[in-house]
Structure 1
Amino acid sequence: AIVWQDRRTSDFCAELKEQGHEAEVQRRTGLLLDPYFSASKMRWLLENDGQVRSAAEAGRLAFGTVESWLVWKLSGGAHVSDASNASRTQLLALDGAQFDEGLCDLFGVPRNALPRVVDTHGPIAETRLLGRPLPITGLAGDQQAATIGQGCFVPGETKATYGTGAFVLTNMGDVIPRSSNRLLGTVLMQKDGRRTYALEGSVFVAGSLVQWLRDSLGLITSAAETEALARSVPDSGGVTIVPALSGLGAPHWNAEARGLIAGLSFSSGRAEIARAALEAMAHQTHDLALAFAADGAPWQRLRIDGGMSANDWMAQDLASVLDLPVERPDMVETTALGAGVLAAVGAGLFGGLEEAIGAMRGAVRAFAPAMEPETRTERLKRWSRALAAV
Structure 2
Amino acid sequence: MTKLIGALDQGTTSTRFVIFDDTGAIVTFHQIEFEQHYPHPGWVEHDPFELLDSCRLCIEHAVNKLIKLGYQVSDIEGIGITNQRETTIAWDKKTGQPLYPAIVWSDVRTQNTVDQLSKKSPKGVDALRSICGLPLTTYFSAIKLRWLLDHVPAVAQAREHDRLVFSTVDSWLIFHLTGGLENDGVFVTDVTNASRTMLMDIHSLSWSNESIRFFGFEGIELPQIKSSSCIYGHIKQGALTGFAIAGCLGDQQAALVGQKCFETGTAKNTYGTGCFMLFNLGDAIPPVLSHNGLLTTVAYQLGKDQRPVYALEGSVAVGGSSINWLRDNMHLISDHHQLNELAASVEDTGGVYFVTAFGGLFAPYWKVDARGTICGLTQYTTRAHLARATLEAACYQSKAVLDAMNKDSGTPLRALNVDGGMSNSDLCMQIQANLLGDGVLVTRPKMRETTALGSAIAAGLALGVWKDLNDLDKVNKEGETVFRSQLSAESTERLYSGWQKAVTRSLDWAEPVDEKLE
| TM category, shorter | over 0.9
Do structure 1's residue 3 and structure 2's residue 3 form an aligned pair?
no
Partner residue in 2 for 1:215: 328
Do structure 1's residue 84 and structure 2's residue 185 form an aligned pair?
no
Query: Amino acid of the residue matched to residue 367 of structure 1?
Result: F
Alpha-carbon offset, residue 112 of structure 1: 4.2
Q: Deviations over 1:199-224 (max 9, x none)?
A: 10011011111111111112111122
Do structure 1's residue 56 and structure 2's residue 159 form an aligned pair?
yes
Alpha-carbon offset, residue 24 of structure 1: 3.2
Partner residue in 2 for 1:248: 361
Partner residue in 2 for 1:71: 174
Alpha-carbon offset, residue 226 of structure 1: 1.8
Alpha-carbon offset, residue 111 of structure 1: 5.1
Question: Could you say what secondary structure the match of 1:224 adopts?
Answer: helix
Note the 1:302-321 alignment, pairs <5 A. Answer: 302-321=416-435
Partner residue in 1 for 2:86: none
Query: Amino acid of the residue matched to residue 482 of structure 2?
Result: A
Query: Amino acid of the residue matched to residue 273 of structure 1?
Result: L
Partner residue in 1 for 2:281: 172
Gaps of 5+ in 2: 1-101, 180-184, 507-518
Q: Deviations over 1:29-59 (max 9, x none)?
A: 1111111100011112222333333332332
Point out the more displaced range, 101-110 or 11-20: 11-20
User: Structure 2 vs 1, CA of residues 346 and 362 (structure 1 numbering), >3 Å: closer, same or farther?
Assistant: farther
Partner residue in 2 for 1:272: 385
Q: Deviations over 1:200-254 (max 9, x none)?
A: 0011011111111111112111122122112211211111111111100000001
Do structure 1's residue 260 and structure 2's residue 373 form an aligned pair?
yes
Question: Could you say what secondary structure the match of 1:113 adopts?
Answer: coil
User: Structure 2 vs 1, CA of residues 111 and 197 (structure 1 numbering), >3 Å: closer, same or farther?
Assistant: farther
Question: Could you say what secondary structure the match of 1:136 adopts?
Answer: strand
Structure 2: distance between partners of 1:102 and 1:258: 34
Query: Amino acid of the residue matched to residue 378 of structure 1?
Result: R
Question: Superposition RMSD on alpha carbons, in Å?
Answer: 1.6
Q: Deviations over 1:127-148 (max 9, x none)?
A: 3325753322100001000000
Alpha-carbon offset, residue 375 of structure 1: 2.0
Point out the more displaced range, 109-118 or 250-259: 109-118
Query: Amino acid of the residue matched to residue 176 of structure 2?
Result: K
Question: Could you say what secondary structure the match of 1:197 adopts?
Answer: strand
Alpha-carbon offset, residue 297 of structure 1: 4.1
Partner residue in 2 for 1:182: 293
For residue 159 of structure 1, the aligned residue among 262, 268, 273 is: 268
Question: Could you say what secondary structure the match of 1:192 adopts?
Answer: coil
Do structure 1's residue 281 and structure 2's residue 390 form an aligned pair?
no
Contact 2:271/2:320, CA 8 A, preserved across alignment:
yes
Point out the more displaced range, 259-268 or 345-354: 345-354
User: Structure 2 vs 1, CA of residues 354 and 110 (structure 1 numbering), >3 Å: closer, same or farther?
Assistant: farther
Structure 2: distance between partners of 1:111 and 1:271: 55
Gaps of 5+ in 1: none
Structure 2: distance between partners of 1:322 and 1:15: 38
Q: Compute the TM-score of the two structures, normalised by the length of structure 2.
A: 0.73
Structure 2: distance between partners of 1:3 and 1:163: 15
Count of residues in correspondence between the two structures:
390
User: Structure 2 vs 1, CA of residues 110 and 338 (structure 1 numbering), >3 Å: closer, same or farther?
Assistant: same
Alpha-carbon offset, residue 124 of structure 1: 2.2
Query: Amino acid of the residue matched to residue 324 of structure 2?
Result: Q
Partner residue in 1 for 2:130: 27
Contact 1:104/1:111, CA 8 A, preserved across alignment:
no
User: Structure 2 vs 1, CA of residues 221 and 133 (structure 1 numbering), >3 Å: closer, same or farther?
Assistant: closer
User: Structure 2 vs 1, CA of residues 354 and 2 (structure 1 numbering), >3 Å: closer, same or farther?
Assistant: farther
For residue 13 of structure 1, the aligned residue among 114, 118, 141 is: 114
Alpha-carbon offset, residue 168 of structure 1: 0.2
Question: Could you say what secondary structure the match of 2:296 adopts?
Answer: strand
Structure 2: distance between partners of 1:134 and 1:200: 33
Partner residue in 1 for 2:304: 192
Structure 1: distance between partners of 2:268 and 2:256: 6
Alpha-carbon offset, residue 290 of structure 1: 1.2
Note the 1:133-148 alignment, pairs <5 A. Answer: 133-148=242-257
> What percentage of residue pairs aligned between the two structures are identical?
40
Structure 1: distance between partners of 2:370 and 2:188: 36
Alpha-carbon offset, residue 360 of structure 1: 4.6
Contact 1:337/1:361, CA 8 A, preserved across alignment:
no
Structure 1: distance between partners of 2:103 and 2:375: 33
What stretches of structure 1 move > 6 A for 4+ residues in a row?
none
- Structure with more helix by fraction: 1
Q: Compute the TM-score of the two structures, normalised by the length of structure 1.
A: 0.96
User: Structure 2 vs 1, CA of residues 321 and 113 (structure 1 numbering), >3 Å: closer, same or farther?
Assistant: same
